[in-house]
Amino acid sequence: MTDAQPDARIDTPVSPRTDTQVSDAVTEVLMRILSVSEEDVTPESRLADDLDADSLDLSEITAALAARGFVVDKADVKARASTVADLIALVDSPSEPA
């Protein structure tokens, strides 16, 4: 029998996040995954054309945001997010547990 530690992310209550927190998280994830500077990530920046994001990058971005506790639909991101602003709009903060 092992002394497995519970996953803190599961036990931590999640509260709604502000637009600034969502925007900051998206910017940080884009900078890390796409190796771009903060100045490159503006609401108008086009994910593919300006930031060179491909479909694999979008999958990684979605997973990284989900790991931070955001609700992100990978299919929506791939189909509807052409700019950073689009991506931010598709990221939902989790609702309070019922």
pLDDT tens-digit readout, 54-77: 999 999 999 999 999 998 999 999
> Could you give the domains of the chain?
15-90 (1.10.1200.10)
Q: Which residues contact 76 (CB under 8 A, 6 or more apart)?
A: 90
In percent, the amount of the chain with pLDDT more than 90 equals 68
What's the pLDDT score for residue 19? 82
Quick one: 51 exposed, middle or buried, by C-beta within 10 A (0-12, 13-18, 19+)?
buried
What's the pLDDT score for residue 5? 55
Which residues of the chain are under the pLDDT cut of 50?
A: 10-13, 95-98
**DSSP string for residues in the chain:** ---PPPPHHHHS------HHHHHHHHHHHHHHHHT--GGG--TT-BTTTTT---HHHHHHHHHHHHHTT-B--HHHHHHH--BHHHHHHH-BPPPPP-
pTM exceeds 0.85 for this model: no
